[in-house]
Chain A
Amino acid sequence: MDKLKLNDLMKRIQKDRDEMAFSQIFDLFAPKVNSYFIQNRINLESSEELTQEVLSTVWVKSNLYDSKKSALSTWIFTIARNKKIDFLRKNSKINFKEEDIREFLYQDREIDLIEENEAKKQIERINNELDEQQKIIIKMNFFENKSHKKIADELEIPLGTVKSRIRHILTKMHGFLR
Chain B
Amino acid sequence: MNGTAVKNQLIFDFASGILGPAKSLFASTYLHLNSNASRIGSVFENVLGENLMDNENILPKSLKYTDCMNNENSKPISNLKDPVTTFFGDLNNLKWKQVYKGFKEYAAPINDKDELKLIKMDPGVSVPIHSHGGKEYILVLEGSFCDEYGEYSKGDIQINDQKIKHTPIASNNSGCVCLSITEKDVIFFGRYGSFLNLFTFIKSFFKQK
CA distance A94 to B110 in the complex (A): 6
From 120 to 151 in chain A, residues with beta carbon under 8 angstroms from any chain B beta carbon are 120, 122-123, 126-127, 135-136, 138-139, 142-145
Chain B residues, CB < 8 A from A161 = none
A5 close to B (CB within 8 Å): no
Q: In the complex, which of the residues B19, B55, B97, B186 contacts A35, with contact meaning CB atoms closer than 8 Å?
A: B55
- By the criterion of a CB under 8 Å from any partner CB, how many residues of chain A are at the interface? 75
Count of chain A to chain B residue pairs whose CB atoms are closer than 8 Å in the complex:
191
Q: B97 to A106, Cβ gap below 8 A? A: yes
Residues of B within 8 A of A108 (CB): 200, 203-204
Range, interface on chain B? 35 or more
Tell me if B55 and A39 are in contact (CB < 8 A): yes
B199 within 8 A of A: yes
Binary per-residue interface labels of chain B (101-144) against chain A in the complex, 1 for a CB within 8 Å, 0 otherwise: 00000010111100000000000000000000000000000000
Q: Which of A140-174 contact B (CB under 8 A)?
A: 142-145, 170, 173-174
Pair A74/B201 contact, Cβ less than 8 Å = no
- Contact A78 to B201, CB < 8 A, known contacts A119-B195, A135-B189: no
Complex Cα–Cα for A111 and B204 (A): 10
A34 near B59 with CB under 8 A, answer yes
Report whether A173 and B202 are in contact in the complex, using a CB–CB cutoff of 8 Å. yes
CA of A118 to CA of B89 in the docked complex: distance in angstroms? 42
Q: Which residues of A lie under 8 Å from residue B98 when comparing CB positions? A: 106
Residues from chain B with Cβ under 8 Å of A81 in the complex: 15-17, 48
Q: Are B62 and A48 in contact, with the CB atoms below 8 A?
A: yes
The answer to whether A126 and B198 have CB atoms under 8 Å apart is yes
Taking chain A's interface residues, is the majority helix, strand, or loop, or is none over half, making it mixed?
helix
Contacts of B192 in A (CB 8 A): 120
- Which stretch in B65-73, B150-158, B168-176 binds the other chain? B65-73
Closest Cβ neighbor of B55 among chain A residues: A32
With A30-B60, A55-B65, A177-B199 as known contacts, state yes or no: A111 contacts B188, CB within 8 Å.
no
CB-contacts of B11-28 with A (<8 A): 15-17, 19-21, 24-25, 28
Q: Kindly list chain A residues whose C-beta atoms are within 8 Å of the C-beta of B25.
A: 89
Do A30 and B52 touch across chains, with their CB atoms under 8 A apart? no
In the assembled complex, B61 has its CB within 8 A of some CB on chain A: yes
Q: Given known contacts A27-B65, A60-B72, A144-B186, is B199 in contact with A122 (CB within 8 Å)?
A: yes
Q: Is the CB of B60 within 8 A of A143?
A: no
Q: Which residue of A lies closest to B64 (CB)?
A: A26
Q: Are B68 and A119 in contact (CB under 8 A)?
A: no
Q: Are B49 and A71 within 8 A (Cβ)?
A: yes
- Interchain nearest-CB distance for A75 vs B (Å): 7
Q: Which residues of A contact B40 (CB under 8 A)?
A: none
A92-B52 in contact (CB<8A):
no
Instruction: Decide if B189 touches A170 in the complex (CB within 8 Å).
Output: no
Interface residues of B (CB under 8 A from A): 15-17, 19-21, 24-25, 28, 42, 45-46, 48-53, 55-63, 65-69, 71-72, 74, 77, 79, 97-100, 107, 109-112, 184, 186, 188-189, 192, 194-206
